[in-house]
Amino acid sequence: MPEAVVKVKEGVVPTKDTRIVLAGVVSVPPIAIGAWQWGDKHVWNWTPEAEKDANEAFDKAFELGIPFYDTAEVYGDGESEREISRFRQKYTQEQKEQQIIATKYFPHKHRTNFPDVLLSALKDSLARLGTMNVDLYQIHAAIHPVEIEVVANALADAHEAGLVKTVGVSNYSKEEVQRMYDALKKRGVPLASNQVCFSLIRTLPEKSGLIKLCHDLGVAILAYSPIGMGILTGKFGSKGPWPEGRKETFDSLDTDQLERLLSVLKALSEKYQRPQSAIALNWCIVKGTIPLGGARTAQHVEQNRMALNFRLNDSEVAELDKHAFEGTTSEWKHG
């Protein structure tokens, strides 16, 4: 089996043609499109009218050569997956094969009858997505009511059935990643990725050694909320007011430290003639992760794409690190 490529190599300027190879099988660009916002009413206040914008965002990612889309069965209660299916209808089969689709299984407490519950949920996701298999299938968090080894066997069954090309996890800690990796290895299935909350307002996955462990195992890190749910764009300032759905997260940040961090981002934004969001995303790439930039509009995709074709130098990364937040774990976020 070909070797996994888990990150952009040190010193390499990332472009749309730079390839990371999940589990040595699925070739992806160094940045992805997060589809949490598509269909979500709780945090992102989605309305049916927003589908046109999301469709344009999907198309723009394909046009710009970064057609890597990350969704989940719980995003909008399946609406995100259904939208992606509708967006893909106009594309040829050859074009669809260039689109990388990742989705996730949510380990609700009542889902105990493995592997059946996972295989059933996966088939429902495939039906909503309108496809026979997905490129990456992930466990949404390590909150499942059964042991990791049981979940690993279910993922291996899905892989052997040809329903998924690669398998991954999300929000897993170092210990949980190691257990999943070992359990899958016994079945001859590589662990492709661990998707964690990672940004300048949550650097814990790096400080804890999680990113290094994953890289050592050949596991790629997908960084969700890489622009801190929007706060790193600078549009809210350091004191708000904050959007209601994100208030709890933003209120936990020290405003003086945030002010200094945003000031450095602004200076680098001016130096590189790119939006602050692109600086924050490039920092994620330099740290060895694949940032999943949320995108409600085509303009957001274009801004995300501007994280490519340059690379922050070591002193700039160090300056950002100096003002970055460590963040915390939670019942939900172990990694």
DSSP 175-234: HHHHHHHHHHHHTT--EEEEEEE-BTTB-HHHHTTHHHHHHHHT-EEEEESTTGGGGGGS
Q: How confident is the model at residue 50 (pLDDT cuts 50, 70, 90)?
A: confident
Place of tokens 């290094």: 212
Q: Which of 69, 75, 105, 224 is catalytic?
A: 75
235, pLDDT greater than 90: no
Q: Are strands 220-224 and 26-28 parallel, antiparallel or unpaired?
A: unpaired
Q: What three-state secondary structure class fits 164?
A: strand
pTM: 0.96
Distance in angstroms (rounded) separating the CA atoms of residues 324 and 262: 10
212 class by beta-carbon count within 10 Å (0-12 exposed, 13-18 middle, 19+ buried): middle
User: 330 is written with which tokens?
Assistant: 């939670």
Q: What three-state secondary structure class fits 165?
A: strand
Q: With b meaning 16 or more CB within 10 Å and e meaning fewer, what string describes 215-250?
A: bebbbbbbbbbbbbbbbbbbebebeeebeeebeebb
Instruction: Identify whether 69 is a catalytic site residue.
Output: no
317 class by beta-carbon count within 10 Å (0-12 exposed, 13-18 middle, 19+ buried): middle
46, pLDDT greater than 90: no
66, pLDDT greater than 70: yes
CATH class of the domain whose range is 20-323: alpha beta
43, pLDDT greater than 80: no
119 class by beta-carbon count within 10 Å (0-12 exposed, 13-18 middle, 19+ buried): middle
- Bridge partners, residue 195, by sequence: 170, 222
pLDDT the model gives residue 247: 80
pLDDT the model gives residue 1: 60
Question: What average pLDDT does this structure show over 73-81?
Answer: 94
pLDDT the model gives residue 31: 98
- The residue ranking higher by pLDDT, 319 or 241, is 319
319, pLDDT greater than 70: yes
pLDDT the model gives residue 126: 98
What is the residue extent of each domain of the chain? 20-323
Q: What three-state secondary structure class fits 300?
A: helix
Amino acid, single-letter form, for residue 144: H
pLDDT in tens, 1-41: 678 999 999 999 999 999 999 999 999 999 999 998 887 77
Amino acid, single-letter form, for residue 155: L
Question: What average pLDDT does this structure show over 51-79?
Answer: 96
State which H helix or E strand residue 145 sits in.
none
Residue 133 main-chain phi, psi, to 5 deg:
-155, 165
pLDDT in tens, 185-200: 999 999 999 999 999 9
- The residue ranking higher by pLDDT, 252 or 121, is 121
Within 10 A of 134 (CB to CB), how many other CB atoms are there?
A: 25
Within 10 A of 74 (CB to CB), how many other CB atoms are there?
A: 16
User: 89 is written with which tokens?
Assistant: 């209808």
Q: In angstroms, how far is CA 126 from the centroid of its own chain?
A: 19
Average pLDDT, the chain: 95
Top mean-pLDDT range of 46-60, 232-246, 278-292? 278-292
% of the chain beyond a pLDDT of 70: 100
pLDDT the model gives residue 316: 98
114 class by beta-carbon count within 10 Å (0-12 exposed, 13-18 middle, 19+ buried): buried
